[in-house]
């Protein structure tokens, strides 16, 4: 097995590279620039999802067997309005180009990272959750629309290539390897709160924001486990924590380690969150039926994250 991870320099892509390399799986990381970290077993190649020739050259002759497609633009509303063409070029057409490049490379399995954003304003099921087999996507943001279109594109285009594909819809992720970038300008509230605490700035939350927040290590571990799963996978699998927590709980977890003052004031928040209302959680029963799904409690996630940023060579938050 040799795995291509696209978006290897990004937040979730970096966490996935770490998880795979820790399991001794050779990884070819693809991005516009190298990851900030290096792991034993990681090789890097620069390529652009907007350029078919770039992708073809990057994948050819590498002995690749599997792909985890984590690369994406995660825009805020201003970015969507300013560059809708770029958002769709990367998130939709970039996926199509990647599949084209994979055709001649002997790829056995493609895991495509999608998002809870494909559900948009869809109503949850009777249990209050989104379900892969029952909840109909109704994306509202351009990001969600592009992600849903990429899912449908794979459904149409992948079968003739004999590449087994699975769509992994990620819930809200936070944690280790998170940083702001050109492709993800607004980070999770958890990351923003941690930065404020480290810089001794007060934290003002827009609201509690309860959600099934998933620590990045847990999400990456689940993705790695699915990649190495022996049996065929369903077309769609949710990746989430299976537990609801909120920002005051995260503040309390950090306050055990750092001086931190916080309050809720919807009129003057210092912490940005891109959704005006809270979203339902993802049902992860399907994930649990396939592989072990771990959940790191917030106090443990805070301790783990802080332990890594205490060593600048390992982790950078900015």
At 219-240, the pLDDT tens digits run 999 999 999 999 999 999 999 9
Instruction: Give the closest residue to 96 by CA, choosing from 76, 69, 77, 134.
Output: 69
What is the per-residue pLDDT across 207-223, written as a single tens digit (0 to 9) for each? Answer: 999 999 999 999 999 99
Sign of the four-CA dihedral 317, 85, 164, 169: positive
d(CA 120, CA 7): 24
What is residue 157's predicted lDDT score, i.e. its pLDDT?
A: 97
Which tokens go with 97?
């180009």
What is the per-residue pLDDT across 69-115, written as a single tens digit (0 to 9) for each? Answer: 999 999 988 999 999 999 999 999 999 999 999 998 989 999 999 99
Instruction: Give domain status of residue 200, yes or no.
Output: no
Instruction: Give domain status of residue 203, yes or no.
Output: no
Instruction: Give domain status of residue 235, yes or no.
Output: yes
Instruction: Give domain status of residue 315, yes or no.
Output: no
Give the domain extent around 14. Answer: 3-175+213-241+281-296
Q: Is pLDDT above 70 for 312?
A: no
Percentage of the chain surpassing pLDDT 90?
90
User: With contact defined as beta carbons under 8 Å apart, do 120 and 138 qualify?
Assistant: yes
Q: Is pLDDT above 70 for 313?
A: no
Instruction: Give domain status of residue 116, yes or no.
Output: yes
Q: Is pLDDT above 70 for 316?
A: no
pLDDT band at residue 183 using 50, 70 and 90 as cut-offs:
confident
Q: Is pLDDT above 70 for 311?
A: no
Domain count, the chain: 1
Instruction: Give domain status of residue 257, yes or no.
Output: no
Q: Does 177 participate in catalysis according to the annotation? A: no
SS3 category, 147: helix
- Average pLDDT taken over every residue of the chain: 95
Average pLDDT of the residues in 56-63: 96
Instruction: Give domain status of residue 271, yes or no.
Output: no
What is residue 51's predicted lDDT score, i.e. its pLDDT?
A: 97
- Helices 189-198 & 247-255 angle (0-180, nearest 10): 30
pLDDT band at residue 185 using 50, 70 and 90 as cut-offs:
confident
Sign of the four-CA dihedral 167, 172, 175, 179: positive
* Contact residues for 52 (Cβ-Cβ < 8 A; gap 6+): 97, 100, 101
Q: What is the CATH number of the domain that holds 223?
A: 3.40.50.720
Instruction: Please identify which of the residues 119, 130, 143, 273 carries the catalytic annotation.
Output: 143
d(CA 69, CA 171): 16
Which residue bears the tokens 């309390």?
A: 252
What is residue 147's predicted lDDT score, i.e. its pLDDT?
A: 98
Instruction: Give domain status of residue 169, yes or no.
Output: yes
Kindly calculate the radius of gyration of the chain based on its CA atoms and give it in whole angstroms.
Answer: 19
Which tokens go with 35?
């990851």
Paired with 3 in beta bridges are 27, 66
């Amino acid at each position: 097995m040799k795995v291509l991870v696209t978006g290897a320099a990004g937040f979730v892509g970096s966490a996935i590279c770490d998880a795979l390399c820790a399991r001794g799986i050779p990884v070819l990381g693809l991005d516009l620039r190298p990851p900030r970290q290096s792991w034993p077993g990681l090789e890097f190649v620069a390529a652009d999802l907007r350029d078919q020739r770039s992708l073809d050259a990057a994948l050819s002759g590498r002995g690749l067997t599997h792909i985890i497609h984590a690369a994406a633009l995660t825009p805020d509303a201003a970015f969507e309005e300013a560059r809708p063409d770029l958002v769709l070029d990367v998130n939709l057409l970039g996926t199509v180009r990647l599949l084209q490049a994979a055709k001649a490379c002997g790829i056995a399995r493609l895991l495509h990272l999608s998002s809870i954003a494909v559900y948009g304003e869809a109503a949850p099921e009777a249990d209050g959750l989104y379900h892969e087999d029952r909840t109909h996507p109704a994306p509202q943001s351009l990001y969600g629309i592009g992600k849903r279109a990429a899912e449908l594109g794979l459904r149409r285009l992948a079968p003739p290539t004999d590449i087994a594909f699975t769509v992994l819809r990620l819930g809200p992720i936070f944690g280790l390897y998170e940083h702001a970038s050109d492709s993800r300008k607004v980070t999770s509230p958890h990351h923003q709160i941690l930065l404020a605490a480290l810089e001794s700035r007060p934290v003002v939350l827009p609201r509690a924001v309860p959600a099934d927040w998933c620590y990045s290590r847990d999400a990456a571990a689940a993705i790695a486990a699915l990649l190495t799963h022996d049996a065929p996978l369903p077309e769609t699998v949710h990746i989430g924590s299976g537990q609801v927590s909120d920002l005051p709980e995260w503040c309390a977890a950090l306050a055990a380690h750092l001086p931190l003052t916080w309050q809720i004031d919807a009129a003057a928040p210092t912490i940005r969150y891109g959704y005006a209302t809270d979203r339902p959680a993802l049902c992860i029963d399907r994930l649990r039926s396939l592989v072990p799904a771990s959940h790191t409690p917030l106090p443990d996630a805070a301790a783990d994250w802080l332990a890594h940023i205490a060593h600048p060579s390992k982790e950078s938050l900015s």
